[in-house]
């Protein structure tokens, strides 16, 4: 575990670097040995998972850190076999049900049921041993809940209530907008916001100090900004900088992920020319992005961010509206490329018209 | 004549009295006068000459049917007379009474047949031991030759192979085949002596063939009993007419044959003719037959399909002649090919020479060498093409033309593997011995594309397996003992013609490689129109060429469909056909199941103004004044086209992939936006449909292509490429995902819980690849400074914890290089970006080595952590250096000694009884005080004690030396 991200990850609520107040609240929450279902949400790299693991450790002690990978195979009613990996300790089980794709409903139904029911049997024996006043037997941690299908989420509703006595669910997702209302209302929502730039800087500094390196404040700030306050990314960038060049200099290049560079170039290509041929080229680039497992929502978001910087005035509103429209259809549909390209074409048409109008206005 | 019909059968006496006169009358009326008696006769004495009588009667009757009494009556009048005296001469004593009665009448003429017999004897002798089995194809040749000479063709007389009798008085020939100068080598015979003292021998013939002939005669004679629905005069007239036409046709054909160098077959040309003529009679009788059958081609020259294809198939089939007809030829003997040949020697020789040259020619053309069994290289011909081109007709006609008996299998038969095998065996290994089918079989497997793969495998096995078996048995010399005939029968020796519509059905893949493939080109409309015109002329329909052309276009030159449509119109009472009618018809239009490419093309191409689209009238009624290119029409047409094609998904993809490459005219990109809106809509539609199983929405899918047509259709011909972008993207995404999952699979759980596929591809991977490329000095790692070493250790640690390593790989250019394993570079790197810094080959090699070593170290540690005993040893070892440096580590044998000593210590623990008290051995020391007292157990015990005290220790290990055995751990080596 030699990446800094992994090496210097805090393991207890007390050691968390930012949002200390929230950490305190969580500590109080589990003090009595019980807690409601939790829905932890926030952008990627804000430290949701870290917080959850700290919480569990607070509850069960260091035993939760002894993790093992379990391969579960579940047979769907249609006799289809679903293989899914879960990470488990003696006290909790972590499942990413969206790995199962369309059969995630079956995973939710079968897996949680079996866990909750089998834990009931162990319950009495554990009580007899007098495990420290913890009344929750097992915790199921579901990640990427927002990527679950609606069917799976509905399957979760009843399960959450039925096995309330023996198990707790912690749901983890990026955005609650794709989690259905009934589930949101059953959970205590905990939002983990991104750390501020200063907080990121301080974390970077402390890590570098532990590594015995000297990080110029300038560079730390630049890294924090470039990473978009995503702490995981910031730490990785910092380490990459370290590999690239040690003693740090304030102006050194900060390595970037390839897909972001590629997306930027795509946006530039769209702005520089608007024609069917260019659209064809853009299509190839969009395909390239999609085949690298970049989710279409992120592509459209990145594109809009880049394109908007080239627009002004009322054009911004128009483009943003178009983006929202196509993003919505993207969610409804199945073939992302159609909708992405439709957005690009729409932007091209709007932008071209705007430019021509501007040209006409200049002429007369 | 009719009166006679009625009288016949009642008046036996009358008949007996006037037998001779009756015969003469019978010739004219084609009535078999003594039909009942003949059969009686047969029952009494199954002799060969009876056959002659029966067939003689047959001939007479047939000639009556020809209906040329005036010209041939006088000639024929002489014939019946010998018919009865011959039996009289042969065995007068056994003759039935009626012959005896009429003996006086016949006796004056009894000399003549005998002369005939004598004349024929030469021939009979030359024919040697041949039995009377009717000849196959070559026999036809002679007959048609005689036809060309004679004004009266006798092709209908084929029944029992008596065609040759035309030139000489009939009857005698059949007998001649059995009249021998010497007793035949095998079989029964009867000796006959004539008045001049010549003795001849008559060979007996089996009953079966005879009865077949007789029964035929019997059956035919029944027509005379007024069982025909059509009066006999009418029939006769028709036949005469037909005959005349046939003669003309035949002469034409002959000249054509000679011109086209396929002159060999004109004998066989009329192979199936007699039956056809009968069929024709039937047809005239029953007018309700389908025209398709009635007007189907009867001869090679009538075929409508492409000439080249026809010729190729015929040539291929002719390649089989060597093995099917000419067994002797394979043995390099100049003997005539067909064993059953009844031709004279000259004819045979001619034929033989032709055979050879033709084989050579076809060999050259088809470039197929005969294999060891003299079969062509391709044992199967595979005809393919869309329906209605005449594939089945071609196969049948050509097979018959080449002198085969066609055995057909099609989809209506059960085609499971074993049944298939059985039928193939029946068709290829056996041969019918009865009736007119005594030709070699040719198996026609129709609609083979629908057959199950198992069945086709059976066919393939038949083509191949038997050869090897044959070869094996030959080498083994087992089959060599058997008869040659037996041997050859196990190999496929008959041609097989397969017919299919779709050549590329997966089941046919194997067969395709071994078959002589003939693809049918579409029928030429001009030829089809010509034929249609002939047919309609035949049926008194008034048609013009334009109408027929329209019909052809409408049906896509499908012969069957055209003729059926014509018949349908005819049946409705339509006697006049014009273009307008054809176009307004709703029938005759084929279900337009066009290929995807043509659909795409239609979508992207505006219809030409001149061309009137068939089928548009479906929607617009009759008004042709309106130009067919209005938007509404185009829309309707595309909708129809797309909904009948049905492959919406593929269609939409093709449109998506191609529409940007069209010549787009709108500079504002409005059309493109609209098109993409439509695509997005259809995507959502499809998703809703699939997800909610709501297939009623499917009816809206064809509107996408219609919209594209209205947006992008142009007059120029579009260049369409097959849409594979989505499939490609899908496979590549899958590949990337697999790589990422493979990487995640082995990651340590504590990290695994923090990274998913998504965050790996978004955040981690790109930067991780940077992190694992530190600057390393290109020197031996032993020379690294401590900081560099530390860096290396960290690098190895990182790579291990993220389940990455380097693997040596060889590039296609032969260069060795180290690649990441799993190769996540494909997931992280994008084309067209400046290349990232890479480690050198040496560095990667070194890192790979370090990773391997670290991995081993960890595995070792894990193993030790799991094994508590070893842990103890470790613990034991640890205090040792502290206590004293005498023993740096317990030596091997000492460890074992300790164990043994420990064992002995356990051994001597005092026995304890149930209550935990020590049990004092009572008698034991007393009773076993003898030298053997200590037994095997105490030997060990003693040894333990002794060994524990001494430094030297040896243990005999039964020949296996472990003198230098020592436990060495990996960690000691690293």
- Taking only the tens place, the pLDDT of each residue in B115-149 is 444 444 444 444 444 444 344 444 444 444 444 44
A287 contact residues in B (CB cutoff 8 A): 725, 728-729
Cβ contact, residue pair B680, A276, below 8 Å: no
Label residue B30 left, alpha or beta by phi (over 0 means left) and psi (-120 to 50 means alpha).
left
CA atoms within 13 A on the CB side of B302: 17
A269 vs B: CB within 8 A: no
| Model pLDDT, residue B27 | 56
Topology of the domain comprising A258-356 = Zinc Finger, Delta Prime; domain 3 (1.20.272)
Q: What is the pLDDT of residues A81-106, one digit of tens each?
A: 888 888 888 888 898 888 887 888 88
How many angstroms separate the CA of residue A120 from the nearest CA in chain B?
Answer: 25
Q: What is the pLDDT of residues B42-79, one digit of tens each?
A: 444 444 444 544 444 444 444 444 444 444 444 444 44
Whole-number Å distance between alpha carbons of A311 and A324? 16
- Chain centroid to Cα B965, Å, comes to 68
Confidence of residue B679 (pLDDT cuts 50, 70, 90): very high
Cβ contact, residue pair B680, A329, below 8 Å: yes
Residue with tokens 């191409």: B605
Confidence of residue B394 (pLDDT cuts 50, 70, 90): confident
- Residue B811 burial (CB count, 10 A): 9
Which of A66, A227, A243, A325 to substitute to test the interface with B, most B CBs within 10 Å? A243
Which of B673, B680, B794 is facing A339, going by the closest CB pair? Answer: B680
Q: What are the two backbone dihedrals, phi and then psi, of residue A233, each rounded to the nearest 5 degrees?
A: -65, -40
A345 contact residues in B (CB cutoff 8 A): 669, 672-673, 676
Q: Is the interface score ipTM higher than 0.95?
A: no
Q: Minimal Cα distance from B769: which residue of A?
A: A240
Bridge pairing between strands A81-88 and A68-75: antiparallel
Which of A240, A287, A338 is facing B767, going by the closest CB pair? Answer: A240
Whole-number Å distance between alpha carbons of B285 and B600? 51
Q: Minimal Cα distance from A11: which residue of B?
A: B750
More confident site: B468 or A181: A181
Whole-number Å distance between alpha carbons of B896 and B327? 87
pTM equals 0.59
Whole-number Å distance between alpha carbons of B216 and B198? 34
A337 contact residues in B (CB cutoff 8 A): 726, 729
Q: What is the pLDDT of residues B565-596, one digit of tens each?
A: 888 888 877 777 777 777 666 665 555 556 78
How many angstroms separate the CA of residue A41 from the nearest CA in chain B?
Answer: 15
Most confident among A119-128, B220-229, B543-552, B892-901 (mean pLDDT): B543-552
A110 vs B: CB within 8 A: no
Cβ contact, residue pair B797, A2, below 8 Å: yes
Q: What is the pLDDT of residues B283-334, one digit of tens each?
A: 444 456 778 778 888 878 778 777 778 888 888 888 777 777 764 444 333 3
| Model pLDDT, residue B128 | 42
Domain A4-191 identical in fold to domain A258-356:
no
A279 contact residues in B (CB cutoff 8 A): 660, 669, 672
Whole-number Å distance between alpha carbons of B250 and B299? 10
Beta carbons of B740 and A99 less than 8 angstroms apart: no
Residue B774 buriedness (CB in 10 A; 0-12 / 13-18 / 19+): buried
How many angstroms separate the CA of residue B493 from the nearest CA in chain A?
Answer: 51
| Model pLDDT, residue B184 | 66
Percent of chain B scoring above 70 in pLDDT: 52
Whole-number Å distance between alpha carbons of A38 and A187? 5
Distances (CA, A) of B695 to A332, B580, B597, B649, B682: 17, 39, 26, 14, 13
Whole-number Å distance between alpha carbons of B100 and B813? 104
Cβ contact, residue pair A290, B758, below 8 Å: no
Q: Minimal Cα distance from A261: which residue of B?
A: B833
Q: What is the pLDDT of residues B143-190, one digit of tens each?
A: 444 444 444 444 444 444 444 444 444 444 444 556 677 766 666 777
Q: What is the mean pLDDT of chain A?
A: 86
Look at chain B and count its residues: 974
**Token pair for A251:** 């102006």
Which of B708, B733, B771, B822 to substitute to test the interface with A, most A CBs within 10 Å? B771
Which of A85, A349, A351 to substitute to test the interface with B, most B CBs within 10 Å? A349
Percent of chain B scoring above 90 in pLDDT: 3
| Model pLDDT, residue B347 | 44
Lowest mean per-residue pLDDT among A186-200, B845-859, B921-935 = B921-935
Beta carbons of A52 and A172 less than 8 angstroms apart: yes
Contacts of residue A49, Cβ cutoff 8 Å, sequence gap at least 6:
A143, A172, B753, B754
| Model pLDDT, residue B158 | 43
| Model pLDDT, residue B13 | 53
Q: What is the mean pLDDT of chain B?
A: 66
Instruction: Decide if pLDDT at B100 tops 60.
Output: no
Whole-number Å distance between alpha carbons of A31 and A58? 8
Cβ contact, residue pair B684, A243, below 8 Å: no
How many angstroms separate the CA of residue B605 from the nearest CA in chain A?
Answer: 19
Residues 716 to 755 of B: which have CB under 8 A from any A CB?
725-726, 728-729, 732-733, 736-737, 740, 745, 748-754
| Model pLDDT, residue A234 | 92
Q: Minimal Cα distance from A244: which residue of B?
A: B774
Which of A53, A257, A265 is facing B767, going by the closest CB pair? Answer: A257
Cβ contact, residue pair B680, A295, below 8 Å: no
B697 vs A: CB within 8 A: no
How many angstroms separate the CA of residue B798 from the nearest CA in chain A?
Answer: 5
Q: Using a CB cutoff of 8 Å and minimum separation of 24, what contacts does B253-259 make?
A: B253/B299, B253/B301, B254/B144, B254/B148, B256/B301
Cβ contact, residue pair B753, A87, below 8 Å: yes
Residues B606, B610, B616, B621, CA torsion sign: positive
Q: Minimal Cα distance from B798: which residue of A?
A: A2
Residues 797 to 816 of B: which have CB under 8 A from any A CB?
797-798, 801-802
Q: What is the mean pLDDT of residues B237-243?
A: 85
At B498, is the secondary structure helix, strand, or coil?
Answer: strand
Whole-number Å distance between alpha carbons of B284 and B278? 10
Instruction: Decide if pLDDT at B924 tops 80.
Output: no
Which of B673, B680, B767 is facing A338, going by the closest CB pair? Answer: B680
Element of type H or E holding A191: strand A188-191
| Model pLDDT, residue B239 | 86
Which of A85, A333, A346 is facing B683, going by the closest CB pair? Answer: A333
Q: What is the mean pLDDT of residues B874-896?
A: 50
Beta carbons of B942 and B935 less than 8 angstroms apart: no
Element of type H or E holding B116: helix B111-126
Instruction: Decide if pLDDT at B677 tops 90.
Output: yes
Topology of the domain comprising A4-191 = Rossmann fold (3.40.50)
B378 closest CA partner among B387, B390, B386, B370: B370
Whole-number Å distance between alpha carbons of B541 and B296? 18
Confidence of residue B846 (pLDDT cuts 50, 70, 90): confident
A3 vs B: CB within 8 A: yes
Confidence of residue B955 (pLDDT cuts 50, 70, 90): low
Beta carbons of A195 and A203 less than 8 angstroms apart: yes
Q: Minimal Cα distance from A71: which residue of B?
A: B745
Domain limits, chain A: 4-191, 197-244, 258-356
Cβ contact, residue pair A259, B830, below 8 Å: yes
Q: What residue ranges of chain A have pLDDT lower than 70?
A: 1, 119-137
| Model pLDDT, residue B489 | 43
Q: Minimal Cα distance from A355: which residue of B?
A: B668
More confident site: B928 or B17: B17
How many angstroms separate the CA of residue A298 from the nearest CA in chain B?
Answer: 9
Which of A5, A259, A338 is facing B679, going by the closest CB pair? Answer: A338
Q: What is the pLDDT of residues B934-951, one digit of tens each?
A: 445 555 556 556 555 666
Q: Minimal Cα distance from A150: which residue of B?
A: B691
| Model pLDDT, residue B170 | 44
- Chain centroid to Cα B589, Å, comes to 30
| Model pLDDT, residue B681 | 93
Label residue A9 left, alpha or beta by phi (over 0 means left) and psi (-120 to 50 means alpha).
beta
At B190, is the secondary structure helix, strand, or coil?
Answer: strand
């Amino acid at each position: 575990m030699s990446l800094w991200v992994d090496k210097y990850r805090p393991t207890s609520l007390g050691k968390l670097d930012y949002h200390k107040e929230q950490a305190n609240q969580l500590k109080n929450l589990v003090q009595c040995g019980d807690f409601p279902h939790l829905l932890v949400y926030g952008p990627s790299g804000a430290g949701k998972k870290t917080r959850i693991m700290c919480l569990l450790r607070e509850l069960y002690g260091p035993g939760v850190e002894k993790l093992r990978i379990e391969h579960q195979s579940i047979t769907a009613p249609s006799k289809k076999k679903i293989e899914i990996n879960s990470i488990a300790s003696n006290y909790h089980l972590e499942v990413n049900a969206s790995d199962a794709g369309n059969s995630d409903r079956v995973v939710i139904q079968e897996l949680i049921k079996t866990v909750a029911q089998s834990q009931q049997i162990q319950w009495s024996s554990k009580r007899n041993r007098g495990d420290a006043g913890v009344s929750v037997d097992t915790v199921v941690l579901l990640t990427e809940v927002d990527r679950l299908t609606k069917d799976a989420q509905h399957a979760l509703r009843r399960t959450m209530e039925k096995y309330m006595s023996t198990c707790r669910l912690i749901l983890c997702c990026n955005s609650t907008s794709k989690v259905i209302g009934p589930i949101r209302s059953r959970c205590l929502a905990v939002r983990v916001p991104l750390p501020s730039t200063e907080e990121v800087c301080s974390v970077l500094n402390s890590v570098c100090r532990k590594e015995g390196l000297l990080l110029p404040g300038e560079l730390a700030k630049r890294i924090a900004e470039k990473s978009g306050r995503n702490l995981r990314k910031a730490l990785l960038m910092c380490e990459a900088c370290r590999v690239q060049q040690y003693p740090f200099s304030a102006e050194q290049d900060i390595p970037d992920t390839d897909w972001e560079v590629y997306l930027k170039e795509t946006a530039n290509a769209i702005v520089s020319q608007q024609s069917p041929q260019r659209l064809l080229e853009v299509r190839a680039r969009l395909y390239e992005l999609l085949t690298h497992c970049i989710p279409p929502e992120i592509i459209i978001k990145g594109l809009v961010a880049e394109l908007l910087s080239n627009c002004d005035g009322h054009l911004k509103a128009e483009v943003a509206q178009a983006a929202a429209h196509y993003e919505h259809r993207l969610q409804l549909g199945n073939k992302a490329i159609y909708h992405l390209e439709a957005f690009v074409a729409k932007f091209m048409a709007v932008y071209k018209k705007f430019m021509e109008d501007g040209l006409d206005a200049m002429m007369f | 004549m009719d009166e006679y019909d009625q009288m016949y059968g009642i008046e036996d006496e009358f008949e007996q009295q006037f037998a001779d006169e009756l015969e003469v009358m019978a010739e004219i009326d084609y009535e078999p006068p003594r039909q009942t008696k003949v059969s009686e006769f047969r029952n009494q004495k199954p002799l060969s000459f009876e056959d002659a009588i029966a067939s003689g009667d047959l001939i007479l009757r047939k000639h009556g049917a020809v209906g040329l009494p005036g010209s041939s009556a006088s000639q024929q009048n002489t014939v019946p007379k010998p018919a009865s005296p011959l039996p009289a001469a042969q065995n007068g004593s056994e003759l039935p009474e009626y012959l005896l009665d009429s003996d006086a009448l016949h006796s004056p003429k009894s000399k003549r047949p005998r002369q005939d017999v004598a004349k024929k004897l030469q021939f009979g002798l030359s024919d040697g031991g041949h039995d009377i089995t009717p000849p196959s194809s070559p026999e036809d040749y002679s007959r048609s030759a005689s036809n060309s000479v004679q004004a009266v063709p006798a092709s209908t007389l084929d029944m029992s192979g008596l065609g040759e009798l035309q030139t000489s008085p009939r009857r005698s020939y059949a007998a001649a085949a059995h009249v021998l100068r010497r007793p035949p080598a095998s079989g029964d015979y009867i000796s006959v002596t004539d008045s001049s003292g010549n003795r001849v021998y008559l060979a007996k013939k089996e009953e079966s063939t005879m009865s077949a002939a007789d029964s035929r005669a019997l059956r035919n004679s029944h027509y005379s009993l007024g069982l025909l629905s059509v009066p006999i005069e009418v029939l006769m007239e028709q036949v005469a007419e037909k005959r005349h036409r046939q003669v003309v046709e035949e002469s034409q054909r002959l000249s054509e044959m000679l011109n086209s160098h396929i002159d060999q077959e004109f004998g066989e040309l009329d192979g199936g003719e007699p039956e056809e003529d009968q069929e024709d009679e039937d047809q005239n009788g029953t007018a309700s037959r389908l025209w398709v059958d009635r007007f189907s081609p009867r001869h090679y020259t009538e075929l409508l399909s492409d000439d080249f294809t026809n010729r190729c198939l015929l040539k291929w089939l002719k390649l089989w002649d060597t093995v099917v007809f000419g067994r002797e030829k394979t043995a390099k003997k100049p003997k005539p090919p067909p064993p059953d040949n009844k031709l004279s020697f000259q004819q045979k020789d001619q034929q033989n020479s032709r055979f050879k040259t033709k084989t050579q020619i076809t060999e050259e053309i088809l470039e197929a060498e005969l294999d060891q069994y003299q079969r062509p290289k391709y044992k199967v011909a595979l005809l393919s093409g869309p329906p209605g081109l005449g594939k089945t007709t071609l196969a049948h006609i050509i097979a018959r033309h080449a002198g085969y008996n066609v055995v057909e299998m099609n989809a209506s038969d059960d085609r499971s593997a074993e049944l298939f095998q059985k039928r193939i065996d029946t068709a290829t290994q056996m041969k019918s011995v009865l009736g007119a089918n005594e030709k070699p079989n040719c198996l026609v497997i129709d609609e083979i594309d629908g057959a199950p793969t198992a069945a086709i495998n059976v066919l393939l096995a038949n083509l191949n397996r038997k050869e090897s078996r044959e070869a094996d048995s030959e080498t083994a010399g087992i089959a060599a003992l058997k008869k040659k005939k037996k041997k050859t029968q196990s190999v496929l020796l008959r041609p097989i013609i397969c017919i299919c519509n779709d050549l590329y059905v997966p089941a046919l893949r194997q067969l395709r490689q071994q078959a002589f493939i003939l693809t049918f080109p579409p029928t030429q409309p001009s030829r089809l129109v010509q034929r249609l015109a002939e047919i309609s002329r035949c049926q008194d329909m008034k048609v013009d060429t334009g109408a027929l052309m329209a019909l052809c276009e409408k049906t896509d030159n499908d012969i069957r469909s055209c003729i059926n449509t014509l018949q349908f119109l005819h049946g409705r009472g339509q006697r006049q056909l014009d273009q307008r009618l054809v176009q307004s018809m709703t029938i005759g239009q084929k279900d337009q199941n066009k290929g995807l490419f043509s659909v795409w093309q239609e979508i992207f191409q505006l219809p030409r103004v001149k061309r009137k689209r068939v089928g548009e009238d479906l929607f617009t009624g009759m008004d042709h004044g309106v130009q067919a290119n209005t938007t509404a029409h185009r829309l309707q047409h595309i909708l129809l086209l797309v909904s009948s094609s049905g492959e919406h998904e593929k269609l939409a993809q093709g449109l998506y992939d191609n529409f940007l490459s069209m010549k787009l005219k709108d500079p504002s990109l409005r059309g493109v936006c609209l098109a993409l809106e439509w695509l997005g809509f259809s995507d959502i539609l499809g998703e809703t449909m699939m997800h909610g199983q709501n297939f009623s929405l499917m009816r809206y899918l064809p509107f996408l292509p219609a919209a594209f047509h209205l947006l992008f259709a142009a007059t120029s011909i579009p260049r369409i490429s097959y849409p594979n972008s989505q499939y490609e993207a899908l496979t590549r995404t899958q590949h990337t995902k697999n790589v990422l999952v493979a990487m995640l699979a082995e990651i340590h759980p504590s990290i695994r819980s923090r990274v998913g596929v998504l965050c790996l591809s978004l955040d981690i991977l790109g930067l991780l690849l940077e992190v694992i490329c530190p600057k390393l000095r290109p020197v031996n790692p032993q020379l690294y400074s401590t900081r560099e070493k530390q860096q290396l250790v960290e690098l190895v640690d990182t790579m291990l914890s993220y389940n990455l390593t380097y693997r040596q790989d060889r590039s296609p250019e032969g260069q060795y290089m180290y690649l990441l394993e799993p190769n996540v570079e494909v997931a992280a790197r994008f084309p067209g970006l400046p290349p990232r810094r890479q480690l050198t080959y040496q560095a990667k090699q070194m890192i790979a080595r370090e990773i391997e070593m670290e991995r081993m170290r960890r595995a070792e540690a894990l193993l030790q952590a799991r094994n508590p005993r070893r842990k103890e040893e470790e613990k034991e070892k640890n205090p040792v250096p502290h206590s004293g440096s005498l023993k740096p580590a317990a030596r091997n044998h000492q460890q074992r000694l300790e164990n043994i000593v420990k064992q002995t210590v356990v051994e001597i623990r005092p026995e304890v009884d149930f209550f935990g008290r020590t049990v004092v051995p009572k008698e034991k020391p007393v009773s076993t005080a003898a030298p053997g007292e200590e037994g095997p157990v105490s030997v060990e015990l003693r040894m333990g004690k002794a060994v524990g005290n001494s430094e030297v220790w040896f243990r005999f290990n039964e020949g296996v030396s472990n003198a230098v055995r020592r436990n060495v751990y990996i960690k000691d080596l690293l």
